């Protein structure tokens, strides 16, 4: 993959974020998702690559664009796998809540796990505790490891968990151990990455969320030098069959960061739609100017860029499909 590809990919997440932000707080999620997906699909056409969607909006028969197997890019340039979530947090945007982003992960052909759309257990830490965490360890043991490696008392350790009834016991155990809990409603990609970044006050991410989101998250964790383990959670015979179809023979396997994203290179890009732990959302300023905050990182070099961009919306009419 060329260095330039990372910056090209940010233009794509920016376009998706700008388009979906028009739908912020309007109470309708499909329109917000469609706007993000259409803008992302349109922008991909100009990117110099031979891309194939491995994680997208669904199968060919259920999604009109960004479906699994769809070819993206100019047809020139590197052969890459693409994982997208054009609007990570559709409910969030509909309700006007924080933490929504447009996200993309790119890897060399064959490096991204073809994760089916089902639940996945995940644990994520930053570089300090890399190589030391196990999904199968108790949460108490994991917190002790993180506290020691980050050189802080256990009561200062902050654990990020999605607020769901399935996490009730987990949350209780973190509190009983004396650590702090950072709950969020939706959007576990941003929440998990924030827990692995040195610039935030969060130390550990645990819980069950989407499997596609897990693979996208892993690309970022690789670039940050953090660590992640995961396990698919098929809940039915149909979901187990789906794993087999996607080439996953043992769905119960503990997946390492390398299993999720193989090799030494991957690109992750995200643009905030509504403000969250990782990024600020799209600001619609006066005079037809919009400002976006994005993050783009590349595993090969470990470079992390925060990009603030001013957009003249009157000169980008193709991105404004909302009204």
Q: Which residues bind ligand VTB (CB under 6 A)?
A: 88-89, 164, 186-189, 209-210, 213
Could you give the CA distance from residue 175 to residue 34 in angstroms, rounded to a whole number? Answer: 39
Q: Which does 121 bind (CB under 5 to 8 A by kind): ligand VTB, Mg ion, none?
A: none
CA distance linking residue 272 with residue 88, whole number of Å: 10
40 to 99, contacts with Mg ion by CB under 5 A?
Answer: 85, 88
The C-alpha atoms of residue 219 and residue 103 are separated, in whole angstroms, by 11
The nearest distance, CB 88 to ligand VTB, in angstroms, is 6
Answer yes or no: are the C-beta atoms of 87 and 20 closer than 8 Å: yes
Q: Give the torsion through C-alpha atoms of 111, 298, 92, 255, to 10 deg.
A: 40
Nearer to Mg ion, 142 or 217 (CB): 217
Kindly report the number of other CB atoms within 10 A of residue 247's CB atom: 8
Query: Smallest distance from the beta carbon of 286 to ligand VTB, in angstroms?
Result: 32
Residue 124 C-beta: closest distance to Mg ion, Å? 16
Cα dihedral value 34, 35, 37, 41, nearest 10: 130
Q: Which is nearer to ligand VTB, 56 or 187 (CB)?
A: 187
When the beta carbons of 186 and 227 are compared against ligand VTB, the nearer one is 186
Helix (H, G, I), strand (E, B) or coil at 155: helix
Give the number of other Cβ atoms within 10 Å of residue 131's Cβ.
9
Do residues 136 and 123 touch, judged by C-beta distance below 8 A?
A: no
Per the listing, tokens 């509190």 go with 175
Total binding residues for Mg ion by CB under 5 A?
Answer: 2
**Among ligand VTB, Mg ion, none, partner that 251 touches (CB below 5 to 8 angstroms by kind):** none
Minimum distance from CB of 58 to ligand VTB (Å)? 14
Round to whole Å and give the CA distance between 13 and 6: 11
Q: Which is nearer to ligand VTB, 31 or 188 (CB)?
A: 188
- Which does residue 186 touch among ligand VTB, Mg ion, none (CB within 5 to 8 A, set by kind)? ligand VTB
* Residue 98 or 209 with smaller CB distance to ligand VTB: 209
- Smallest separation, CB 149 to ligand VTB (Å): 26
Provide the binding-site residues for Mg ion, judged by CB under 5 A. 85, 88
């Amino acid at each position: 993959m060329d260095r330039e590809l990372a910056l090209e990919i940010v233009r794509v997440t920016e376009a998706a974020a700008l388009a979906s932000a028009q739908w912020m707080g309007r109470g309708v999620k499909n329109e917000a998702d469609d706007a993000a997906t259409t803008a992302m699909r349109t922008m991909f056409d100009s990117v110099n690559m031979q891309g194939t969607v491995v994680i997208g909006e669904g199968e060919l028969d259920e999604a009109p664009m960004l479906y699994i197997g769809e070819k993206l890019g100019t047809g020139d340039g590197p052969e890459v796998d693409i994982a997208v979530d054009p609007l990570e947090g559709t409910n969030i945007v509909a309700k006007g809540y924080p933490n929504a982003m447009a996200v993309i992960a790119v890897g060399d052909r064959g490096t991204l796990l073809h994760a089916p759309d089902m639940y996945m257990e995940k644990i994520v830490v930053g570089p300090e505790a890399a190589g030391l965490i196990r999904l199968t360890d108790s949460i108490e043991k994991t917190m002790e490891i993180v506290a020691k490696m980050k050189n802080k008392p256990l009561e200062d350790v902050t654990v990020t968990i999605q607020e769901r009834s399935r996490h009730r016991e987990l949350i209780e155990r973190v509190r009983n151990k004396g650590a702090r809990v950072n709950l969020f409603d939706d959007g576990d990609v941003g929440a998990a990455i924030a827990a692995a970044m040195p610039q935030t006050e969060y130390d550990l991410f645990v819980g069950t969320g989407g499997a596609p989101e897990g693979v996208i998250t892993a690309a970022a964790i690789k670039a940050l030098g953090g660590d992640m383990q995961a396990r698919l959670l098929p809940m039915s015979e149909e979901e187990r069959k789906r794993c087999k179809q996607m080439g996953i023979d043992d769905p119960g396997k503990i997946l390492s960061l390398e299993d999720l994203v193989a090799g030494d290179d991957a690109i992750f890009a995200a643009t905030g739609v509504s403000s969250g732990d990782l990024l600020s959302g799209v600001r619609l300023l006066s005079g037809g100017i919009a400002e976006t905050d994005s993050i783009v990182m590349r595993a090969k070099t470990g470079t992390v860029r925060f990009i603030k961009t001013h957009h003249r919306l009157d000169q980008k009419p193709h991105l404004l499909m909302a009204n």
